[in-house]
Amino acid sequence: MPLCCGLVKIVRTADRAAQLCGGLRANGPVVLVPTLGALHAGHVALMLRARKLARKDGNVVVSIFVNPTQFGPKEDFARYPRTFARDRKLCAEAGVDVIFHPEVEEIYPEGFSTYVDEERVSLPLCGKSRPGHFRGVCTVVLKLFNIIGPDVAVFGEKDFQQLAVIRRMVRDLNVPVKIVGMPTVREGDGLALSSRNAFLSAEERAQAPVLRHALLMARDTLYKKPAELTRMVKREIGRARLARVDYVETLDAETLEGPTARTRELVIACAVFFGRTRLIDNIRRKVSEK
């Protein structure tokens, strides 16, 4: 039997999750919010949106799983925050019905050897700087879709490329789930909420909003050429002493390839290190705007 916490059921195995969620589908839509845990107000916004989409009779499922296959060997898998007691409380307050919280061995049993590779949208940006990252994301997300069988899944737009890769995987593999993207939730000074913000020192935290400021400047400038926008963002971020740019790129927001004459919207995306902490952010800009 699933464990119950308040009204939230906690399920630790794939079989139980599949059985439970399969049964719930008769009540109304099952809406999934996949997470790595260490939940914050950004996740709460996703859960509240999921609650609305599930309506009164449907069910919201949150998965909490720090997925090892999406972290590179030199990345922060080991130090990624694990805060299950707090996460569980936030889920209960947001009206979540089920938490799926498996062990690594449950998702990747001995002898696991099948992975999902999206080979186009995954290539630039984080795909370049974090080889194998999207293979890990696609593999775990498809597994979650197969286990939970959601009607809808909700993802944040802060991970703009992740959202695009998942949409492409779902389209290409005919996965019967609707993908919903949610705008990024920010601190008052513009810093995008992220579980990794907790790793920033006071000085790094004070400088981190430079990502948002630089991106807003590029969205609102009269300059139009993608290369000019990229340069402007790099220059602005470079003014923050502790920032080390991993990438800044201006791409077609639909294809995530270089802009062409057919591009209707640009995405300006960046990844920036503050010490060992890597932050990402993005902004969109209509091509005809200025």
Please identify every residue annotated as catalytic.
Answer: 43
Asked whether position 161 contacts ligand PAF by CB under 6 A, the answer is: no
Instruction: Give yes or no for residue 69 binding ligand PAF (CB under 6 A).
Output: no
Q: Does 122 bind ligand PAF (CB under 6 A)?
A: no
Q: What is the largest CA-CA distance in the chain?
A: 60
Q: Which is nearer to ligand PAF, 9 or 40 (CB)?
A: 40
Among residues 245, 237, 242, which one has the least CA distance to residue 210? 237
Helix, strand, coil % in the chain, rounded to nearest 5: 40, 20, 40
Q: Which is nearer to ligand PAF, 46 or 267 (CB)?
A: 46
Q: Output the residue with the shortest Cβ distance to ligand PAF.
A: 34
Please identify which residue in 50, 121, 126, 140 interacts with ligand PAF, judged by CB under 6 A: 140
Number of residues lying near ligand PAF (CB under 6 A): 10
Is residue 118 close enough to count as binding ligand PAF by CB under 6 A? no
Binding segment for ligand PAF (CB under 6 A), chosen from 4-12, 32-40, 215-223, 259-267, is 32-40
Judged by CB under 6 A, which of 87, 118, 151, 159 binds ligand PAF?
Answer: 159
Which CB, 51 or 133, lies closer to ligand PAF?
A: 133
Figure out which of the listed residues 31, 36, 47, 61 binds ligand PAF, where binding follows CB under 6 A: 36
> Candidates 20-28, 92-100, 135-143, 257-265 — which segment interacts with ligand PAF by CB under 6 A?
135-143
178: β partners: 152
Residue 34 binding ligand PAF, by CB under 6 A: yes
E-strand stretches of the chain? 3-5, 8-11, 30-35, 59-64, 98-100, 152-156, 178-182, 243-252, 265-274, 277-286
Q: DSSP character for 186? A: B
Residue 75: CB partners within 8 Å, gap ≥ 6? 130
Q: In what order do the strands lie in the sheet with 277-286?
A: 243-252, 265-274, 277-286
Q: Smallest gap, in angstroms, from Cβ of residue 25 to ligand PAF?
A: 22
CA distance 222 to 224: 6
Q: Does 67 interact with ligand PAF (rule: CB under 6 A)?
A: yes
Q: Is 141 in the site for ligand PAF (CB under 6 A)?
A: yes
Lateral strand order in the sheet of 30-35: 3-5, 8-11, 98-100, 59-64, 30-35, 152-156, 178-182
CA distance 79 to 220: 37
Instruction: Check binding of 137 to ligand PAF (CB under 6 A).
Output: yes
* Alpha-carbon span 168 to 162, nearest angstrom: 10
CB of 193 to ligand PAF, least distance (A): 12
The contact set with ligand PAF (CB under 6 A) reads 34-36, 67, 70, 137, 140-141, 159, 162
